[in-house]
Amino acid sequence: MFAGVDLGGTNFTVVLAEADGQIVAEDKQPTASHEGPAAVLERLAGRIERLATATGRPLASLGIGVPGLVDVATGVTRFLPNLPTQWRDVPVGTTLSARLNCPVHVLNDARAATLGEAMFGHGRDARTMILFTLGTGIGGGVVIDGQLRLGPLGAAGEMGHICVEPDGLWCSCGSRGCLETYASGPALTAEGVRLLLSGNAPRLHELCGGDPARVSCETLGAAARAGDPGAQAALERAGSYLGQAAAAAVLTLHPDLIVLAGGVAALDELLIAPLRRTLHQRVRMFPADGIRIARSQLGVRAGVYGGLAAAIRGGNINRTAA
């Protein structure tokens, strides 16, 4: 029995599965990260243990994605921007390994989502793919010739911080004009609020009853689908920035697949259509037609499937093919 975990700032998800990825049990709980890493990891281990006991089979291995940088070799967290600071330098790997008595593989959540998509999603048919996780921030991952690319710090794939406007908005990372500042969930919501207050988004206004607090990626998407020109322009712009960042990675690597994952990817063609247009405008050195662009097949479960993939592949998390 293998376990995959997606540890988020708000919730954690646990799945137990067979070696072929067949899910046997699943659980979702609030992270309550303010309780501190020791309490949360103990509670997480307890849930996993209970699920495993119910299956009557021992746990062979566990893989876990965490929201930030992690030392992949040791399983120690480094910089987790969406969790309280006491989550820095936490030995997640050895803590869970000692508690559950099995090998534990820790990786960044976006890299986990990429591994999940590569092994169980659209990436099964791709040699080389790039993936963006669109949520509170924008993360990403790269698979090259079937191998998840980690780099020396597990940090390869940070395409959310590619500069798309040299003198653009300041980003939480300390740089400016990063893709994340234009196409993350909060960026889109802020743009929606601005639109609402400008009076140039009649359908959005209707959908939200004029209340800025009800503006979200969902209402913005619904307004765009209902023909709101302001909402359409806002998503066109975000998708175009995504295309510009994707073009930089495409020119570097020429992948055959680009995947959008994370909650904001539910906007689907509202983002993918302008992404595709911009990619074709920006990649002229070789035909980009052959590059497939798709929303994650695994949806919000890409990350937990990635943890599972890391568990199933054991020490060999750097390969998606045996």
Catalog residues that contact its own copies under the rule CB under 8 A.
69, 128, 130, 140, 142, 144, 149, 151-153, 155-159, 161-166, 171, 173-175, 244-245, 247-249, 251-256, 281-287, 290
Block residue for tokens 């196409």:
183
Q: Is the dihedral of CA 220, 225, 227, 233 positive or negative?
A: positive
Least distance from C-beta 205 to its own copies, angstroms?
30
Q: Identify which of residues 13 and 278 has a Cβ nearer to its own copies in the complex.
A: 278
Q: Using the minimum distance from each CB to its own copies, give the nearer residue, 4 or 137.
A: 137
Instruction: Report which secondary-structure segment, H or E, holds 141.
Output: strand 138-144
Q: How far is the CB of 194 from its own copies (least distance, A)?
A: 20
To its own copies, the closest distance from the beta carbon of 306 in angstroms equals 18
How many angstroms separate the CA atoms of 311 and 104, rounded? 7
Nearer to its own copies, 48 or 291 (CB): 291
Contact predicate 31/87, CB 8 Å: no
Residue 88 carries which DSSP code? T
Q: What minimum distance in Å lies between the beta carbon of 113 and its own copies?
A: 16
For strands 76-77 and 70-71, give the pairing: antiparallel
**Minimum CB distance to its own copies smaller for 232 or for 278:** 278
For its own copies, give the closer residue by CB, 56 or 152.
Answer: 152
Residue for token pair 């307890």 = 46
Nearest to 97 by CA among 85, 106, 86: 106
Minimum CB–partner distance for residue 243 and its own copies (Å) = 10
